[in-house]
Amino acid sequence: MNTASRKWLRPALIIAVAAIVLVIVLTTQSQDTAPSVSFFPVQLEKYAKEPYPSALATGVLVLDNGHLRLKPATGVGDSNLLIWPYGYSLYTEGKEIQIINGEGKAVARMGDIIKVGGGEIPIVIVGKYIGQTLPDDCIGPYWLVSEVVID
């Protein structure tokens, strides 16, 4: 091996080791990091007694870009951003995300196939139901949830 080759061997080895360490760190972080819900839209109390649309949707509760959405179980079609009923809340423990109803009971977990009553609503009235403007990354369609239907 000539002198020029030896001159570049050490920096190349350091870069290779650094790249391997970076991959390991990033892989470990993504596995240990709990999923995070950045926005959980809940209806205002004053709308709790109003009539709801009477449709029923079935799908998988997924976390997409920090938002809980109902993805069609078939995998075909748009997922809906869920607008939860008044009194519903979010509970996260480790990597598990649960939806808690107004009585304090867990009614759904991320990854579950669920049924929700209610119906699709246009963006122009979403703010009315939740009392605030949606973040820019909360794209539709939007589903106004009346309840999580438990079989």
Q: Could you read off the pLDDT of 49-108 as tens digits, one per residue?
A: 888 888 999 999 999 999 999 999 888 889 999 999 999 999 998 889 999 999 999 999
Of 74, 78, 108, give the one whose Cα is nearest residue 91.
108
Q: Is 91 helix (H, G, I), strand (E, B) or coil?
A: strand
Q: Where are the domains of the chain?
A: 1-33, 45-149
Q: What is the pTM of this model?
A: 0.75
Q: Residue 39 is encoded by which pair of tokens?
A: 């926005």
Question: If you search the block for the tokens 């990091």, which residue do you land on?
Answer: 33
